[in-house]
């Protein structure tokens, strides 16, 4: 009998149990990457057209990001392969009174929405795909003409970290490197017309604010710090070793 290659993703939230699901539901504030997630959310709000645009989040998990976007006023559909994750997302949607947040149990490598979306979002989810090209192709098909796919995914080396290795061994999930340049290649192959690779806003914020803590009494003024942060931003923008995200237009 052939094993289900997506069993790890399908059963992940069932295996982490109520405590793990509660932790995921309380993101971004429950997570040690809180500042990064908040910075990414701020970047999203600057990129997206004003509500009521329509958005699909592929691999939404318990839906914490979809719910925040729905609270902003977007019409959001969250898709995840885990029934337990979707049940938690639906419960939160009802508790917060968000009729514009809809959650569906489904495989994002084969999901076809009832209505085309303005945006398709992968947030730390594409690197769990069995076949990432099929997932990107589904995102392309889900978009209206002129719509955009946005992906925040891990860079080179992610699959070799201790956390990733442990997740594969313990839960049987996929943990792949998914740098923005590779996603751009997939996008071109499935029909996206253009793309833009951007540095993560979290990295830009750190380049400005962390130096200011160290130099607050050294005579550096804000203009100098801003100039230095711009130089770091340019370096990060063109460095494949830094955290990046990507926007692709249909």
Burial of 62 (0-12, 13-18, 19+ CB in 10 A): buried
Coil, helix or strand for 217? Answer: coil
Within a domain: 235: no
Report pLDDT for 27. Answer: 95
End-to-end alpha-carbon separation of the chain, Å?
40
Within a domain: 174: yes
Within a domain: 128: yes
Report pLDDT for 233. Answer: 61
Within a domain: 1: no
Within a domain: 52: yes
Within a domain: 2: no
Q: Which residues of the chain have pLDDT under 70?
A: 1-2, 207-242
Return the structure tokens found at 37. 């997630």
Contact 56, 118 (CB under 8 A): no
Return the structure tokens found at 229. 């942060």
Q: Where are the beta strands (DSSP E) in the chain?
A: 54-58, 75-80, 101-105, 117-123, 143-152, 194-199, 244-249
Give the angle 22-80-34 at the CA atoms, nearest 5°.
Answer: 45
Report pLDDT for 208. Answer: 65
Report pLDDT for 218. Answer: 53
Report pLDDT for 2. Answer: 46
Phi, psi of 54 (to 5 degrees): -105, 135
Number of structural domains found in the chain: 1
Q: What's the pLDDT tens digit per position in 150-201?
A: 999 998 899 999 999 999 999 999 999 999 999 999 999 999 999 999 888 7
Q: How many CA atoms lie within 13 A of 201 on its CB side?
A: 14
Report pLDDT for 66. Answer: 98
Please list the helix, strand and coil fractions of the chain in percent, rounded to the nearest 5, in that order.
50, 20, 35
Report pLDDT for 213. Answer: 54
Phi, psi of 79 (to 5 degrees): -120, 130
24, containing H or E segment: helix 7-25
Phi, psi of 156 (to 5 degrees): -60, 140
- Distance between CA atoms of residues 38 and 27, nearest Å: 10
User: In terms of residue numbers, what domain contains 184?
Assistant: 7-200+245-249
Within a domain: 223: no
| 0.75 exceeded by pTM | yes
Residues in the chain: 250
Report pLDDT for 161. Answer: 92
- Distance between CA atoms of residues 72 and 162, nearest Å: 36
Within a domain: 34: yes
| 3-state secondary structure labels for all residues of 71-82 | HHCCEEEEEECC
Burial of 146 (0-12, 13-18, 19+ CB in 10 A): exposed
CATH number of residue 175's parent domain: 3.40.50.150
């Amino acid at each position: 009998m052939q094993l289900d290659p997506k069993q790890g993703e399908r059963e992940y939230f069932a295996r982490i149990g109520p405590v793990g699901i509660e932790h995921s539901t309380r993101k971004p504030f429950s997570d040690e990457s809180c500042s990064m997630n908040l910075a990414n959310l701020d970047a999203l709000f600057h990129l997206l057209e004003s509500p009521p645009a329509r958005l699909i989040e592929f691999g939404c998990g318990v839906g914490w990001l979809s719910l925040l976007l729905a609270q902003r006023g977007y019409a959001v559909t969250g898709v995840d392969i885990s029934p337990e994750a979707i049940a938690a997302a639906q419960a939160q949607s009802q508790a917060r009174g968000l009729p514009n947040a809809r959650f569906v149990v489904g495989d994002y490598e084969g999901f076809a929405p009832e209505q085309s979306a303005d945006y398709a979002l992968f947030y730390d989810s594409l690197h769990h795909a069995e076949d990432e090209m099929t997932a990107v192709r589904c995102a392309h098909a889900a978009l209206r003409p002129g719509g955009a796919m946005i992906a925040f995914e891990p860079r080179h080396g992610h699959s070799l970290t201790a956390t990733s290795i442990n997740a594969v061994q313990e839960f049987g999930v996929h943990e792949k490197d998914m740098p923005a340049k590779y996603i751009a290649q997939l996008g071109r192959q499935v029909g996206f017309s253009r793309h833009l690779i951007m540095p993560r806003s979290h990295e830009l914020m750190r380049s400005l604010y962390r130096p200011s803590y160290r130099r607050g009494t050294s005579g550096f003024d804000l203009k100098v710090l801003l100039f230095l942060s711009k130089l770091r931003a340019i370096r990060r923008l063109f460095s494949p070793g830094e955290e990046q995200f990507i926007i692709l237009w249909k």
